[in-house]
Chains A and B, each alone.
Chain A
Amino acid sequence: AQSVAQPEDQVNVAEGNPLTVKCTYSVSGNPYLFWYVQYPNRGLQFLLKYITGDNLVKGSYGFEAEFNKSQTSFHLKKPSALVSDSALYFCAVRPLSGGYNKLIFGAGTRLAVHP
């Protein structure tokens, strides 16, 4: 079965430190990969995506993500965390089979950045 795993329910980091939010996937082929962020009482906001090309992709708000095909991972990173980055982060995968834009989401990781 196709799935997305975010192994950490919560990540705690001090402001100014680098952060990593992990994501691994189990999908056949070369899927499209996405990160979204959800702030309290808000919908999902698109952060970045990997389709093809350079394994390091840059997105909104200084976030970037590194695609690793051999490890089937797509970890979200930021060099210096801000308190305002505290939110719920979702990794999502779009399998290339299925014929349409279906997204499979991970369970989400809550990021808490402490002053």
Chain B
Amino acid sequence: AQKITQTQPGMFVQEKEAVTLDCTYDTSDQSYGLFWYKQPSSGEMIFLIYQGSYDEQNATEGRYSLNFQKARKSANLVISASQLGDSAMYFCAMRQYGSARQLTFGSGTQLTVLP
């Protein structure tokens, strides 16, 4: 069974600073994908970044980067140069390769960017 753990219920960051949101996962599979989603107060889940278990390079998408440490089973999201619009709930999720198509989500981290 898969499990995603996000240990930071809430985080604060000053505008223009960088912030790291933690995510650890548990799986016995060798092939899997890790995702980060942003959920603003409007409720829609917005895909941010993806990391495959066999990818050797850490994924980057604009101001988002994923610090992937496979041996530690961690996939932390780094947001650089935080903006007020980054204030939202952030979810880490995992998907296994094979028959299981669904995403397994963590409990989320509420990020607040301070002006």
- Say whether A associates with B: no
List A residues at the B interface (Cβ < 8 Å).
none
List B residues at the A interface (Cβ < 8 Å).
none
